Chain A
Amino acid sequence: MEESSTNYFLIIGGVLFVMLNVAAGLIWLERRMLALWQDRYGPNRAGPFGLFIVLADTLKLFFKEDWIPPFADKAVFVIAPAIVVVTVLLGFVVIPFAPGIMVADLNIGVLFFLAMSSMGAYSIILGGWASNNKYALLGAMRGAAQMISYEVFMGLALMGTVLLAGSFNLKDIVEAQRGLWFVVPQFIGFVIFFIAGVAETHRLPFDIPEAESELIAGFHSEYSGMKFGMFFIGEYLGITLISCMVVALYFGGWLGPAFLPPLAWFALKVFVFLSLFILLRASLPRPRYDQLMEYGWKILLPLTLLNLLVTAGIVLWMNE
Chain B
Amino acid sequence: MIITSEDARDRKRKKQVSGTYYLILLKKGGNMFSILRSMWLVFLHAFNKRDTIQYPEEKVKLSTRWRGRIVLTRDPDMGERCVGCYLCAAACPVDCISLQSTEDENGRRYPEFFRINFSRCIFCGFCEEACPTYAIQLIPDFEMAEYNRQNLVYEKKDLLIDGEGKYPGYNYYKVAGMAIGGKGKGEAINESEPVDIKSLLP
Q: Which of A7-15, A35-43, A52-60, A225-233 contacts B (4 or more CB under 8 A)?
A: A35-43
Contact with B along A265-296 (1 / 0, CB 8 A): 00000000000000110111000000000010
Contacting pair A299 B28 (CB below 8 A):
yes
Q: Are A38 and B45 also in contact (CB < 8 A) when A279-B39, A283-B39 are?
A: yes
> What are the residues of chain A within 8 A of B28 when measuring CB–CB?
295, 299
Q: In the complex, how many residues of chain B place their beta carbon closer than 8 angstroms to a beta carbon of chain A?
A: 17
CB under 8 Å from chain A, chain B span 49-75: 49-52, 54
Q: How far is the CB of B50 from chain A (nearest CB, A)?
A: 5
For A40, what are the chain B residues with a Cβ–Cβ distance below 8 Å?
A: 50-52
Provide the bound-state CA to CA distance between A282 and B46, in Å.
Answer: 11
Cβ of A178 within 8 Å of any chain B Cβ, yes or no, is: no
A279 CA to B41 CA in the complex, in Å?
10
> Least Cβ distance of B110 to chain A in Å?
46
Whether B48 sits at the interface, judged by CB under 8 Å, is yes
| A37 adjacent to B52 (CB under 8 Å) | no
CB distance from A122 to the nearest CB of B (A): 30
Q: How far is the CA of A295 from the CA of B48 in the complex (A)?
A: 34
Q: Which of B38, B45, B48 contacts A284 (CB 8 A)?
A: B38
Check A74 for interface membership: any CB of B closer than 8 A: no
User: Cβ of A134 < 8 Å from any Cβ of B?
Assistant: no
> A264 CA to B50 CA in the complex, in Å?
31
Tell me, rounded to whole Å, the shortest Cβ–Cβ distance linking B24 to chain A. 7
Q: B147 — which chain A residues lie within 8 A by C-beta? A: none
| 8 A Cβ contacts from A1-54 to B | 35-41
Q: Given the interface contacts A37-B43, A40-B50, A41-B52, does A299 sit within 8 Å of B38 by beta carbon? A: no
Q: Are B43 and A39 in contact (CB under 8 A)?
A: no
Which residue from B25, B38, B50, B51 sits with its C-beta under 8 Å from A283?
Answer: B38
- Chain B nearest CB: distance from A30 CB in Å? 14
B35 contacts A by Cβ under 8 Å: yes
B51 touches A282 (CB 8 A): no
Of B24, B38, B51, B54, the contact of A39 (CB 8 Å cutoff): B51
Q: Does B1 contact A (CB under 8 A)?
A: no
Q: Cβ of B38: which chain A residues have Cβ within 8 Å of it?
A: 283-284
Tell me whether A39 and B42 are in contact in the complex, defined as CB-CB below 8 angstroms, given that A298-B24, A299-B28 are known contacts. Answer: no
Q: B45 contacts which chain A residues (CB < 8 A)? A: 36-39
- Could you tell me the distance in whole angstroms from the C-beta of B41 to the nearest C-beta in chain A? 8
Given contacts A295-B28, A298-B24, contact A39 B39 (CB under 8 A): no
The residue on A at minimum CB distance from B49 is A39
Nearest chain A CB to B141's CB is how many angstroms away? Answer: 24
Complex: A96 Cα to B35 Cα, angstroms:
32
- Nearest CB in chain B: distance from A205 CB, A: 9
21 A-B Cβ contacts within 8 A?
Answer: A35-B50, A36-B45, A36-B46, A37-B42, A37-B45, A37-B46, A38-B45, A39-B48, A39-B52, A40-B50, A40-B51, A41-B50, A280-B39, A282-B42, A283-B38, A283-B41, A283-B42, A284-B35, A284-B38, A298-B24, A299-B25
Residues of A within 8 A of B (CB): 35-41, 279-280, 282-284, 295, 298-299
The 7 A-B pairs with the shortest beta carbon distances in the complex, nearest first, are A283-B42, A283-B39, A39-B51, A37-B45, A41-B52, A283-B38, A39-B50
> Taking beta carbons and an 8 Å cutoff, which residues of B are in contact with A?
24-25, 28, 35, 38-39, 41-43, 45-46, 48-52, 54
